[in-house]
């Protein structure tokens, strides 16, 4: 099964599981529990492998650490997003802006010389609650604080944006290759 197919299925399954856990436990408790689990995964991973870099995932053991962290980030992101937008009352718009702003801060920190591994993982973890808040903002009814686009149109919009970004990235890679002199 291709990597992105596995990742998509995994994302869906973990989001459902995290939503189920959050429904039966306090959002505060589930967010803290997933945060502690992720911290433990990172701690063990670093103690064993001496790196958390995604560029150094070259063994089966490192891949298992990586996928464990990914599973936990999905669950943590779902719980943290629900905590921020629902329990803390940020709402969908302010939640999307807050998480998007924090991703921007992580990116800016990396651009000015911040630790690449740390800023990657912070940014990566924040993408889940950002996506959840943005998705809820677009899909939910206006009466519930959303824009009322519905799931179908929101999915079509997200797919279009993803396809454009992948196309732009591929075009950029191909343009870089064609500008290099042939040997």
The answer on pLDDT for 112 being more than 80 is yes
Residue 52 in any domain: the answer is yes
Tell me if 91 is assigned to some domain. yes
State whether 112 and 167 are in the same domain.
Answer: no
For residue 24, pLDDT over 60 is answered with: no
For residue 61, the enclosing domain spans 3-147
Q: Is the pLDDT of residue 174 over 70?
A: yes
Q: Is residue 137 part of a domain?
A: yes
pLDDT at position 86: 87
- What percentage of the chain reaches a pLDDT higher than 70? 82
Whole-angstrom distance, CA of residue 20 vs CA of residue 173: 41
Query: DSSP 3-state assignment of 158?
Result: helix
Contact (Cβ atoms closer than 8 angstroms) between residue 27 and residue 79? yes
The whole model's pTM is what? 0.76
60 and 143 share one domain: yes
The token pair at 84 is: 């921020």
């Amino acid at each position: 099964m291709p990597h992105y197919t596995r990742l998509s299925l995994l994302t869906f399954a973990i989001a459902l599981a995290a939503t189920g856990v959050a429904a039966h436990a306090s959002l505060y408790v589930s967010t803290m529990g997933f945060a502690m689990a992720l911290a433990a995964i990172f701690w063990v991973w670093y103690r064993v492998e001496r790196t958390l870099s995604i560029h150094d995932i070259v063994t089966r053991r490192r891949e298992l650490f990586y996928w464990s962290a990914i599973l936990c980030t999905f669950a943590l992101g779902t719980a943290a997003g629900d905590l921020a937008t629902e329990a803390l009352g940020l709402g969908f718009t302010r939640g999307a802006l807050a998480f998007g702003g924090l991703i921007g801060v992580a990116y800016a920190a990396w651009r000015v010389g911040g630790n690449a591994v740390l800023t990657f993982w912070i940014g990566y973890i924040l993408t889940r609650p950002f996506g959840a808040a943005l998705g809820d903002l677009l899909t939910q009814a206006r009466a519930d604080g959303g824009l009322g686009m519905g799931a179908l149109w929101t999915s079509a919009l997200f797919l279009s944006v993803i396809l454009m970004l992948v196309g732009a990235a591929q075009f950029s890679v191909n343009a870089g290759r064609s500008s290099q002199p042939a040997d």
